[in-house]
Chain A
Amino acid sequence: MTAPRTAIALLILAFSQATPAAAQVFDAESFTLANGLEVVAVANHRAPVVSSMIWYKVGSADEEPGKSGLAHMVEHMMFKGTKTVAPGMFSHLVAENGGRDDAFTSFDYTAFYQDIAVDRLPEVLRLEADRMTNLSLHEKDFAPEHQVVLEELRMRVDNSPGGKLNEQMNASLFLNAPYHHPVIGWRSEVEHFTLADVIAFQRRWYAPNNAILVVSGDITAAQLKPIVEKYFGPLPRRKLPPRVRLDEPPPLAARTVVLRDPNVHQPDWNRLYLAPSYSTGDTKYTYALEVLAEVIGADSSSRLYRHLVIEQKLASEVWAGYSPESLGPTSFDFYASPNPGVDLDKLGAAMDAEILDLVDKGVAADEVERAKTKLRAQVAYARDSYQTGARVLGSALATGRTVADVQEWPQRIAAVTPELVNEAARAVLRDLRSVTGLLLPARPGEEASGGNAPEQPIPELGRSLR
């Protein structure tokens, strides 16, 4: 399915799983303009194309109370015209230059990208610089896009039992951190956005000193610099609001969230543990936790798969994952899907037993060595695609990391010891830090959970359908 302009944090997960912020691999050079714009060029000369991405250091976690989802709404409106480019024309112009464009929003950032032949790069950078400061929005364009965002919310959340459960689990895990509310927002708040909300948010956060431009592909910093200077150099700095990531209070209670939905025919079991990120909490554990996730739940050779899928035959699928790339706290995640006829409680008890065993007895040195080898092998693959460098470096820089952090990732993984992995497991995999999520079919007569809330009347869009 085409996934036009949007959202959400799946992408981060994909990177952390498959292409860990790869290191020496990236042939990266960076510089900063006088107005504060950070620029990175990542060379990959396989084909005469580039992936150009601008990352704004603003995401759903920067929204004010009552305005959840506004960062994502602003992302959509960035395509709705400037003083010189008509609404909707941005993507047309990119396409006419043989390029593809889209955008996405996450907790900590909003990113826009164009994949395009390198000789057309100046044109898209001109357009990108233009919409940073010259956005010119009108009610007639806001009204239909507001409806588009609500349709996106219906697709991602209302129509998806797993999407609904995921929101409920995050809200239960993050009591105080701004990841409590979903990136796409709570429907009751999204419905009430106004054009004025969008304009104010965009003016507050979109500025050269709050952005990172990463261009990866057939380009060098020397080639990139004059083009960037020409289009982005004249843009003024702005005074920026602080990015606040409130701490979590000490966790005191294991929580369980149960979501029943008539569209569920295959239940599943989920568990989140409040975990440190590269930026927040016990950061010394982050690389060890990446290794831990690989040891216990990354593939068909991992512990959980061997024990629960092959030996005990309780699960059809099982998985553990951890993405430390976040400005605030993050989570260490587990997922299991039962075999037909297996009770979800029984599967949950078996998962608990595995996690307990892990904390009690720890992992073996050879498990850690194998996991480290596998993680490092991924580095070569990360270098393969011209797009990966822009994505990995952009998301790292937008969440408080440096180019050097990314470049040193393999060494830091290599330095992880079994002792540190076990210490990290003991620190993080604790009941009090956890939220368990159960996805279950509805009981007879039960209605869809929240999905069929009464629809608001649709505003008149001024165009007849017939």
Chain B
Amino acid sequence: MNARAFLGTLAIGLAIALPARAMSIERVSSPGGIAAWLVEDHTNPIVAMSVSVSGGAALDPDGKAGLANLVADLLDEGAGDLDSQAYQGKLNDLAIELSFEVGHDSLNIDLKTLTENRETAFGLLGLALAKPRFDPDAIERVRSQELSALAQELADPHAVANRALAAMLFPNHPYGRPAKGDPESVKAIARDDLAAWTAHHLGRDALIVSVVGDVTADRLKSLLDAAFAGLPAHADPVSVPEAEAQGAGKVQVIRRPFAQSVATFAEAGIKRADPDWYAAYVMNDILGGGGFSSRLMHEVREKRGLAYDTESYLIPRDHAALVGGGVATRNDRMADSLAVVRREWQRMADQGATAAELAAAKKYLNGSFPLELSSTGALAGLLNVIQRNGLGLDYLDRRRGLIDAVTMADTRRVARRLLRADRLATVVVGDPKGM
């Protein structure tokens, strides 16, 4: 379920406060009707764009899990008159970085180019979206790559654990299926499925676009049309049922000959639009989200040396939400590690955060915001998350206030509401003793 990757995106979206240097976000609308947010930055000859398209792996048909992922793999494998090698050759020769990635709720596109190649870069993206070739040899090559990657995942206990946990949490919902599918479902995907996916889900009204870098609003308008005007006006409406996390209190042990057991766990969480979101966000930072300063790191790693890494996180998807975490420990101490984690989980639920912890978390979450502006690409991604969550152009100005407004009572209330150690669904991969 790719919890960590998802969390990364999220953390960017939320770790914002006002950058000390003025940064103005412009709304741009192209003649072809494409809307985008733009931050002009002419420091370097680079343009970066981040796009999300509503509808991701959750829309994969039954028996064809991995379809959207395969589409994403194939969009840059030939389009229009250019076969795979011709298309890839242009990207590579001009150092244009283009990637398509699928999450459960969206297809995400990142484009980075030097200014001198920006017309070509946006044009190549336009070709990929409007006229993907899906050549049979490219399909089979990419399918083989996906099957090899799935086999490779079996050597990674984290990947094995995350897959099993998703199935436990969402047994009858698309969120329970891996975005990359499984070998059988990947083999079942046909060329028609790929073509149907783009026909149904790529439309101008499904796009959220943000651009940062060396481009003016005027010039951007024609670039946007080069990339997106070739798409139909409307995509099919996205329809995914709401889901509640299942598996409360279950523990599944998957026996594998690993020297270190890996545990991953989660329970129902909180959505991004919930009024208590910021309280949950700050509370999670204190519990296990805040690097070396979190309670889990302190109790599990610093004090007892039980693990190299442990963490907690919030996953607010469009149709379900989770609060979860993970820890990895030698087989004969896994039971001890989980006991410490559960105790901290429950202690936070019962007592909330201390005043000192709350103050420190606020300082960190507000103070570290400008670190997110590390590059044009990072800023474009950040603007996209803000748009996608409907946070508004003024979010950068409001965010510090939202964090600062969280009180002790808020963290206590939200912790009591969200955290129940006996409700965690848990998967352990390895050879844990006494479990």
Binding site for B on A (CB under 8 A): 1-6, 45-49, 79, 88, 91-92, 95-101, 115-117, 120, 143-152, 154-155, 158-162, 261-266, 299-301, 306, 309-310, 313, 316-317, 337-340, 370, 373-374, 377-378, 380-381, 383-387, 447-448, 451-453, 455, 458, 461, 463, 465-466
Contact = CB atoms under 8 A, between A and B. Distances in A.
B9 interface: no
B367 interface: yes
A96 B257 contact: no
B188 interface: no
Contacts of A49: 370-371, 373
23 contacts: A1-B158, A6-B308, A49-B370, A88-B292, A95-B290, A96-B360, A98-B367, A100-B368, A115-B371, A117-B370, A120-B367, A148-B301, A149-B308, A151-B307, A154-B330, A263-B257, A266-B155, A300-B84, A300-B88, A301-B92, A313-B144, A340-B147, A377-B95
A370 B91 CA distance: 12
Contacts, number: 227
Given A151-B329, A159-B328, A455-B331, 18 more contacts: A4-B291, A4-B297, A48-B19, A79-B292, A92-B360, A95-B293, A99-B368, A116-B371, A145-B305, A155-B328, A158-B259, A265-B155, A266-B149, A309-B141, A385-B375, A452-B431, A461-B303, A465-B304
A374 B95 contact: yes
A158 B114 contact: no
B246 interface: no
Contacts of B309: 1-4, 155
A380 B43 contact: no
A159 B334 CA distance: 15
Interface in B362-398: 363-364, 366-371, 373-378
A340 B307 contact: no
Contacts of B336: 465
A144 B304 contact: yes
A97 B293 contact: no
A455 to B, nearest CB: 6
Contact of A2 (B88, B158, B291): B291
Given A151-B306, A337-B152, A386 B374 contact: yes
B112 A381 contact: yes
B85 A306 contact: yes
Interface in B209-244: none
Residue from B144, B369, B376 with most neighbouring chain A CB atoms (10 Å): B144
B148 A374 contact: no
B145 interface: yes
A116 B363 CA distance: 12
Interface string B247-282: 000000000111110100000000000000000000
Contacts of B330: 150-151, 154, 455
Determine the interface band of chain B, counting residues with CB < 8 A from chain A.
Answer: 35 or more
Contacts of A143: 305
B157 interface: yes
B332 interface: yes
Nearest to B115: A380
B245 to A, nearest CB: 22
Contacts of B25: none
Contacts of B340: 465
B298 interface: yes
Nearest to B363: A96
Given A378-B95, A451-B258, A452-B257, A155 B290 contact: no
Interface in B282-299: 290-293, 297-298
Task: List the 8 shortest-distance A-B pairs measured between CB atoms, nearest first.
Answer: A98-B367, A147-B305, A144-B305, A377-B95, A158-B259, A266-B151, A91-B292, A154-B260
Nearest to B20: A48
Contacts of B92: 299-301, 374
Given A47-B19, A115-B371, A337 B148 contact: yes
Residue from A6, A46, A339 with most neighbouring chain B CB atoms (10 Å): A46
Interface string B333-346: 10010011000000
B308 A1 contact: no
Contacts of A339: 144, 148
A373 B93 contact: yes
Nearest to A375: B95
Contact of A451 (B257, B311, B367, B370): B257
B364 A98 contact: yes
Contacts of B41: 46
A361 to B, nearest CB: 21
Given A117-B367, A265-B152, A4 B257 contact: no
Given A145-B305, A151-B308, A97 B95 contact: no
Nearest to B285: A95
Nearest to B158: A1
